[in-house]
Every structure is written in C-alpha cells, then in structure tokens.
Amino acid sequence: MITILEYFLLVLTIAYAAGFIGALVGMGGGVIISPVLTLLFGVPVAIAAGASLLAVIGTSSGAGFTAYGKNTPANYRIGLLLMTVSTVGAILGAVTTIFLSKSIRSEWIIYIIFGVAMMACAAALFRSKTEEDADQAIKDPLATKLNLHSSYYEESTKKRITYYPRNIPFGMGLNFVAGILGGMFGIGGGAFNNISMNGIMKFPMKVSAATSNLINGVTAASSFGVYYLTGNVYPLIAVPAVIGIILGSISGRRVLSKAKTPVVRFVFIAILVAIGVEMIMKGVA
Amino acid sequence: MDPALPRIMTRKVLRYGIYISIGFAVLGAIMIFISFRCINSNFTQLISSGGVNENLLSAFSISDNGTRLSDFLAGVGMIALVAIPIARIGLTICEFACERETFYTVIAVLVLIVLAISFLVVGPMEAGYGLFHI
C-alpha cells in the first residue's frame, strides 16, 4: 500500500532525478516519469502521460535558461523545422493513446512496440560514431540552402566546433515518429530527437541535446492540449512530478555546459535500454 | 524593433513563467495536503483500472471548497507552465521577423498554428465527439 504522502515524496524525489538527467541529455524527464507512474504506482497510461507531459514542459523550460545563454549550442533553425513535424505527430499520438486506453489488450501491444523501438534506437546509437570532428564533413546542399550549418564553443576542449548537418528529410521523418511516440506515452519525444539529430543528421551531441530541450516543450504542449481537454490531467498526480522536475532541471542545466559529451551519451544510452526493458517486461506481463 | 529584444523577452518569459508555475504548483500542493482529510489514505485505492476513482477522491477531501481551491491553484500553475513554450514560439516569430528571415518566420507561425489546432480543434473534438471513436 502506498499512501498519498508517500506518493508525493517518492514522485517528488524521482522527478527531481528525472529533471536533472533530462536537462543533461536534452530528452525531457518525462521519459522517466511516465514509466514510473505506470509501473510503480499503477497510474493508467493516459493519466500518466498527461502528468508526464507537464513534467516534460517543466524540464524544457527549466533547462531553457541555458539555451538562451551566451554560449548556447542550440540550433534554433533545425529546432523549428523539427517542431513542425513533431507537434503534428504528438497530437496524433495523444489521440491514439486515448483511443487505445479504452482496451487493456491494446495497451500491452503498444508497450512491447515501444520497448522494442527504444532498444533498437539505443543499439543504433551505441554503434554509431559521434560527429564532433565534423569540420571535415561534406556540405549537404539542402542543409546549406536551409542555413543549418553552424558552430558552437566546446568548453571541455576550449575549441570552437563547426558542424555540417545532413540527411535532413530522413531526420525530420524520424522526428514525426518521435512526436507520435512522445504524444502516446508523454515522453515529449526527446529521446528520438537526439537520435535523429545526432545519429542521422550528424549534429554534435551537445547541439542535439540543447536543441532537443527547445523542441520538447513545444511538442509536449501540443499533445498536452488533447490530454487536458479530455480530462486526463489530475493535479494530485501531476503536481509532485512538476515541482520535482523543474527543480531537477534547474540543477541539471548548471552541469550541462561543463559535461563531457561521452558521459552524456553513455547516460542517454543507459536510460534508453532501461526504459526499453521496462516497457517490454510490462508488455509481456 | 531591436533584434535582441525577443531573445531578452524569452529569457524573462522562461524565468518568470517558471517562478509563477512552480509557485502556484507549490500552493496547490499545500492546499492538497490541507484539504485532504488523511494524507495517509491509500493512494493505490484511488487508481482504479479505468482511471482515477472520482468518488474516492471526493471522499478523501474535507470539503468541496478545499478541493476546488487546490485544483484551481494547481490549475493556474499548469496553465502558466504550458503557456511558456507557446510564448516562446510567439517570441521566436518576432526574433526571425526582426532578422528578416522570412522562411523561418513562416515555419514558426506554422508551429503556432499546429498548437492552436491542438487546443482549439483536436482537444475539444476528442472530448466532445471523438475523432476515432467508433
């Protein structure tokens, strides 16, 4: 048995940790909040997603202080381009979850698909190389036309890194899928944002993490509207998650600019695997 | 307009938006504790298979007024929080417009339109009639 007080304190603590890691890797703490509410506390998926989306917006806004700092690695142009597809996907995802949540049998199938997708992405990211030395890269004509080539100051090496992204349409396609999954499970789509930006479009990990923070808040807001208006947002359930995650994300952003990319990458992969295993187990059970 | 102004405004929206939303969320949390008869009540009982047990939720609270106030305060916090990314897009439109980047100004407007569709079209439809309801 879990009392209301225990729920509050546990979720507050977990949300603080989620906000901290979310700000660090730019994936939104909802990726942790949503499974925790569902798996540990038995909260129905749609209600957990509604609370989790608020938490994602909180993480995004808390970490946003960094994005508007002097040496921000965030790329606003690609952020906007990806938002056009991720927001549409998120609305579709939210509508799908509300529809599927009426049937418990469908929920288990969705859990397994989601878990397998997360594991596959973690494996793909583990095998791919980071593109921190992107100065040598060939300039993609579409990325040039869209004015997406840019640079940022890498604090750990005290060097300015210039990067030349590519594979923009493929990356946008994945972001649409990211939006759907984010809207379905209330994870904001940040995990897939990083994969599409870093793994496919070859943005440096730090750029993708900072830009993903910008995208997450807007994507989460687009699907939150659907959950809120269909009565799936309960203050009692959402409040401790929101308070914890905002405080955690404010702490996390202080570390973001000093964090070394391989560490961020390792944390990111480990979280993806953990969520994938959790989701598959939930689906099989 | 000074091209730096939207970015300065965005910093302020982020800062004060977070302060307002977390302030109201904390007030809402305090009111939840005040208005709920026993914070040692079984939380898991509240969660039935289909959703939150509304009858039990009412039974746990001292009075409707207390519950309404906690919901109102937490609700204001939520709205303030959701307003932050929407305001950021609005300010991004101003930023790119000031820099005379027409393409990205249009893209930002498109994102704002999608957000409006979610809150003004899809949400109400799903709540009222259901887009995919059979």
Among A5, A81, A98, whose Cβ lies nearest the Cβ of B39? A5
Does the beta-carbon distance from A44 to B18 stay under 8 Å? Answer: no
Task: Assess whether pLDDT exceeds 70 at residue A265.
Answer: no
Portion of chain B with pLDDT greater than 70, in percent? 71
Task: Assess whether pLDDT exceeds 60 at residue A147.
Answer: yes
CB atoms closer than 10 angstroms to residue B110:
16
Chain A with chain B: Cβ pairs closer than 8 A? 184
Annotated domain spans of chain B: 5-102
Q: Are A206 and A261 in contact (CB under 8 A)?
A: yes
Average pLDDT over residues A42-68: 78
Task: Assess whether pLDDT exceeds 60 at residue A206.
Answer: yes
- Read off the pLDDT of residues A6-16 as tens digits, 9 standing for 90 and up: 888 899 998 98
Listed range (A27-41, B16-30, B57-71) with the worst mean pLDDT: B57-71
The more confident residue out of B100 and A109 is B100
Average pLDDT of chain B to the nearest whole number? 77
The C-alpha of B63 sits at a distance from chain A's nearest C-alpha, in angstroms, of: 16
- DSSP, res A154: E
The more confident residue out of A191 and B43 is B43
Average pLDDT of chain A to the nearest whole number? 80
pLDDT interval class at B65 (50, 70, 90): low
Q: Are A2 and A41 in contact (CB under 8 A)?
A: yes
pLDDT of amino acid B134:
39
Q: Which residue is associated with the tokens 């995990």? A: A191
Which chain B residues contact residue A235 at CB under 8 A? 28, 32, 70-71, 74-75, 78
Joined tokens for residue A15: 């949300």
Task: Assess whether pLDDT exceeds 90 at residue B104.
Answer: yes
pLDDT of amino acid A133:
46
pLDDT of amino acid B51:
61
The C-alpha of A131 sits at a distance from chain B's nearest C-alpha, in angstroms, of: 26
With 0.90 as the threshold, say if the pTM is over it: no
pLDDT of amino acid B133:
46
Tell me the residue type at A81. Answer: L
Maximum CA pair distance of chain B? 58
| Dihedral sign for Cα atoms in the order B91, B115, A271, A133 | negative
Strands B47-48 vs B51-52: parallel, antiparallel or unpaired? antiparallel
